[in-house]
Structure 1
Amino acid sequence: MNKGKNIWIMVLLFIGVVGFLWIQLVVLPSKKQVEERYAHEQMNPLTQDFNYIAEYESEYLGDNSNTVNLFRSLPMSQDEMTFQLFPEELVVEVHYPSSLSESVHSTMTTDKDNEYGQKEDLIAHRTLLYNATAGFALIKNIDQLTFEFQDSTFDFKRSDFKSMYSNLDQLLDEDTWIQEVQQPLQNDQYVEKTFKGLAIVH
Structure 2
Amino acid sequence: MKNIKNIWIVSLFIIGLIGLVVVEGFINPKIAADEVRYEAEQDDPLTHDFTAVAQYQNAYMGNFSNLSHLNQNLPLHERLDGYELFPETFTAQIHYSLNTDEMDSVQLDRILVYNALANFVLIDNLEQIVYQFKDTRIVLGRELAQQWVGTELKSLQNVEIWDDVVRQRLVEPAKAQEAFSQMVDQS
Q: Smaller-chain TM-score range? A: over 0.9
| Paired residue type of 1:138 | L
Matches within 5 A, 1:143-158: 143-158=127-142
CA contact (8 A) 1:90 1:141 kept: yes
1:185 maps to 170
Query: Is the 8 Å Cα contact of residues 139 and 185 (structure 2) preserved in structure 1?
Result: yes
The Cα of 1:79 is off from its aligned counterpart by 5.5
Which of 86, 97, 110 aligns to 1:126? It is 110
* Matched residue SS, 2:88: coil
Please list the CA deviations of residues 83-102 of structure 1 after superposition, one character each: whole Å capped at 9, or x if unmatched.
11011110111111221133
Q: Check the 8 A contact 1:45/1:127 in 2, yes or no.
A: yes
1:201 and 1:29, CA in 2 relative to 1: closer, same or farther beyond 3 A?
Answer: farther
Q: Secondary structure at the match of 2:140?
A: strand
Q: Identity of counterpart residues, as a percentage?
A: 31
Identify the residue that residue 163 of structure 1 maps to in structure 2: 147
Q: Which residue of 2 aligns with 1:199?
A: 184
8 A Cα contact 2:57 2:122, kept in partner: yes
User: How many angstroms does 1:2 deviate by?
Assistant: 2.8
The reply to whether residue 175 of structure 1 matches residue 175 of structure 2 is no
Give the secondary-structure state (helix, strand or coil) at the position aligned to 1:61: coil
By how many angstroms is 1:68 displaced? 1.4
**Number of residue pairs matched by the alignment:** 186
SS in 1 for 2:5: helix
- Listed one character per residue, the Cα deviations across residues 30-63 of structure 1 (whole Å, up to 9, x for unaligned) are 1111112111211111111111111110111011
Q: State the distance in 1 between where 2:146 and 2:177 align.
A: 19
Q: Secondary structure at the match of 1:55?
A: helix
Letter in 1 for 2:155: Q
* 1:69 is aligned to 2:69: yes
CA deviation vs aligned residue, 1:99-136 (integer Å, no higher than 9, x gap): 1133x4xxxxxxxxxxxxxxx00010011010111111
Which residue of 2 is the match for residue 58 of structure 1? 58
Superposition pairs for residues 98-137 of structure 1, below 5 Å?
Answer: 98-102=98-102, 104=103, 120-137=104-121
Structure 2 residue matching 1:78: 3-state secondary structure: helix
How far did residue 4 of structure 1 move?
A: 3.2
Does residue 96 of the first structure (1) align with residue 81 of the second (2)? no
Q: Is the 8 A contact 1:153 1:201 kept in 2?
A: no
Moved more, 136-145 or 80-89: 80-89
* Structure 2, gaps ≥5 residues long: none
Tell me which amino acid in the other structure corresponds to 2:129.
L
Aligned partner of residue 44 in structure 1, secondary structure: coil
Q: Check the 8 A contact 1:74/1:131 in 2, yes or no.
A: yes
- For 1:79 and 1:183, the matched residues in 2 are separated by 25
Structure 1: runs of 5+ lacking an equivalent: 105-119
Q: Which amino acid aligns with 2:182?
A: G
Asked if 1 retains the 8 angstrom alpha-carbon contact of 2:144 and 2:185, the reply is no
Q: Secondary structure at the match of 1:11?
A: helix
